[in-house]
Amino acid sequence: MSRVVLGAYLADSVAESGNGTHTATHSIENWVNIKALQLLTHHTSAVLAAVVLFWFVGFIVQHLLHDGLLKRCVLVVDEFVLLCLFVYFAYELFIFL
């Protein structure tokens, strides 16, 4: 028996009341933080979508605009906004956890 399963078994055993009824529920919420998993999957999908969209914008700009100041400015702004999104998502995730 693993330590996690043994610890949960012992915690459930201690949670029994004196009249023999079991007060602990056997649900997944006791084992896993569902809100943290939802936030993690939301942030993962948002980061992946942002990376794909900003890569696509960069690809289009590199192929459609001629070399010049406007092309460099658009690419710098594109990378800056992507970096800001990464920082925001990381901040929100760390604040939650």
Count of domains observed in the chain: 1
Q: Is residue 42 part of a domain?
A: yes
Q: Is residue 96 part of a domain?
A: yes
pLDDT tens string 5-39: 444 444 554 444 455 555 556 677 778 888 888 88
pLDDT tens string 46-69: 888 988 998 898 899 889 888 999
- Report the C-alpha gap between 4 and 41 in whole angstroms: 24
Q: Is residue 14 part of a domain?
A: no
Q: Is residue 52 part of a domain?
A: yes
| CA 27 from centroid of its chain's CA atoms | 23
Could you tell me which of 55, 51, 33, 59 has the C-alpha nearest to residue 89? 51
What domain range is 41 assigned to?
A: 33-97
Does the pLDDT value for residue 1 go beyond 50?
Answer: no
Q: Is residue 59 part of a domain?
A: yes
Q: Are 11 and 24 in contact (CB under 8 A)?
A: yes
Model confidence pTM above 0.75: no
Q: Is residue 28 part of a domain?
A: no
